[in-house]
Copies of this chain bind each other. A is one copy, B any other.
């Protein structure tokens, strides 16, 4: 048993843990920082779908950088912590034990599978997508020679994996809810995603859920849908979400929030001000609706990690983490999709009185610029004040940053009044025309309805 005394102990090896370590090092260079992670090599979580297609093609190419300069200045221990004593400020791992001043849980999330499907995980060819290199390598190996893959779940991971498997010439069926990415996009925006997936040759079984995995011996043979129909396949991937990985925290007696995450305040502190939790393992709230949120996002985790690490020894910056704005982007075929805040469907469900503005234009100007393509933006605002509470964008790759403009507007609680005369850099080769910049035009449509 190795005994380690440290000032700051971080449990986890994902983005939240790495950002917390780097930020703590910058703000408290005199403190000893120790990070304990289970695996030598951590994967970039959002890169995992691209291991299954031609984009990366192997888990080696999805290894997370160990942060070079940061890694040299902190202690990194590869081990698994099995118990934490919060009162005594100690933690025990298989080959080490630790005494700490401050502790940050960044234990991430694990796949969620509905109990009706859970028994199927014992079959040889039914998989979840763990954020773990060995597990991913097993799935990749198992998919070799299996031509027909069924993906259950139409969130980002399900859609991205289905799209990537198709790019690797698999026969792919994607099973899911009302429409693709229904938690993040309204149906009017998602229909472009569905069209692209169909054009790529992915079979969509929408408005469905998998009620049963069919099997012969130890092999799954297909999935029975809720309408009774059967889809046959050689492998099944259950991409039905994730849940906070909080066994260790619960065993240590920390309070859990609804949906099972570790309860934290706006500075990511548990009820004990020396114990923090960040990333997918902590309980989240929605920035707009204030409801508990199931959103899991590496960039949300990174923001939480920065807040926590700056607040370890007192509140340096009075800017806590005030809830997730659920800001996502992805690429389907050659089109980028971005979303932030609430959708119209969510606003309706919450009883929010809103107006929305939609604009479709081109991403270059004049539109004769080679490579110009369509770009569309939807903004959602409170009817009363015009405050921006949501946005969705579809376009070429730059849409991945356009959604971040909308996200900043949401986080800064700006209104359509601010956006209608927004000053933006416009350039023929880079953006829409100044006369038709999509965020400005969508904001104007909101003002005209108020």
In the assembled complex, how far is the CB of residue A409 from the closest CB belonging to chain B, in whole angstroms? 7
Instruction: List the B side residues contacting A401 at CB < 8 Å.
Output: 398, 401-402, 404-405, 430-431
Chain multiplicity (copies): 2
A331 within 8 Å of B (CB atoms) = yes
Q: Restricting to A410-449, which residues have a CB under 8 Å from any CB of B?
A: 411-412, 414, 417-418, 420-431, 433-435, 437, 440, 444, 447-448
- Contact, CB under 8 Å: A18 / B427: no
Tell me whether B400 and A431 are in contact (CB under 8 A): yes
Q: What's the least CB distance linking A319 to chain B, in Å? A: 5
Query: Out of B61, B427, B437, which one reaches A366, CB within 8 Å?
Result: B61
Give residues of chain A (302-333) contacting chain B, Cβ–Cβ below 8 Å.
302-304, 306-307, 310, 317-319, 321, 324-325, 327-331
Contacts of A409 in B (CB 8 A): 408
Task: Please state if B434 and A15 are interface contacts (CB–CB under 8 Å).
Answer: yes
Size bin of chain A's contact surface: 35 or more
Interface check A83, CB cutoff 8 A: no
A264 at the interface (CB under 8 A from B): no
A299 contacts the other chain (Cβ, under 8 Å)?
Answer: yes
Cα distance, A299 to B421, chains bound together (Å): 10
- B307, B397, B434: the one contacting A429 at CB < 8 Å is B397
| Interface pair A434/B301, CB less than 8 Å apart | yes
A441 → chain B, closest Cβ, in Å? 9
Pairwise interchain contact B329-A417, C-beta atoms closer than 8 A: no
Is A44's CB under 8 angstroms from B426's CB?
Answer: no
Shortest CB distance A64–B (Å): 7
Give Cα A430–Cα B425 distance, bound, in whole angstroms: 20
Once the chains bind, are B306 and A444 in contact (CB under 8 Å)? yes
User: Cβ of A435 and Cβ of B55 under 8 Å apart?
Assistant: no
Which one, B47, B303, B366, B369, contacts A428 given CB within 8 A? B47
- A398: which of B27, B63, B300, B400 is its contact (CB, 8 Å)? B400
Assembly CA distance A185 to B299 (angstroms): 29
A370 at the interface (CB under 8 A from B): yes
- In the complex, A324 Cα to B423 Cα: how many Å? 8
Residues on B with beta carbons closer than 8 Å to the beta carbon of A318: 417
